[in-house]
Amino acid sequence: MNQEFIIERVNKQNFNDLLYLIEKLAEYEKLEPPDKKAKNRLMKEGIGKNSKYRAFLGKLNGNPISYVIYYMTYSSFLALPTLFLEDIFVLENYRRNSVGQRMFDFCVEKAKEKGCGRMEWCVLNWNTPAIKFYEKNKATKMDWTFFRFTKDQIDSYIPKKN
């Protein structure tokens, strides 16, 4: 890649670029993009000193073409922080040009800076290009099943009585 590629933190000025890329990821994964309320929460909870997550844009010649979102969790077994990579996304026209690799390398460096004992993420089972990418980077594929409660499930949950 002979053009200028930079990675910059998401802020109020470039936040709409992040939203654009999140919508492109939703399109790729055939999911509903964030609604207006979710977009407002993304802004409120991701921008500023006490943000709940960190977001960074990958820009090529000033144009946003990729992003990463990560946040910190904690390993009880290692007694060390864990960097959880929520999203890593590259626009289709820029894949296979080392953009994804540079964004992934950036996250690994952040994990090192923060003294993490590990870095984790999930990949959809059908996303074979992503799986191959992570295998190429020597990531360990875990033999775990990922579970989820939606907001509706949380709100309607009734604790079991013994």
Q: Which residues are catalytic?
A: 134
Q: Which of 50, 57, 52 is nearest to 11 (CA)?
A: 57
Q: At what angle do helices 36-46 and 15-29 cross, to 10 degrees?
A: 130
- What's the CA angle centered on 19, arms 110 and 84, to 5 degrees? 30
Distances in whole angstroms, Cα of residue 57 to Cα of each of 6, 75, 80: 8, 27, 27
How would you classify the pairing of strands 63-75 and 118-121? Answer: unpaired
> Rg of the chain's alpha carbons, rounded to an integer?
17
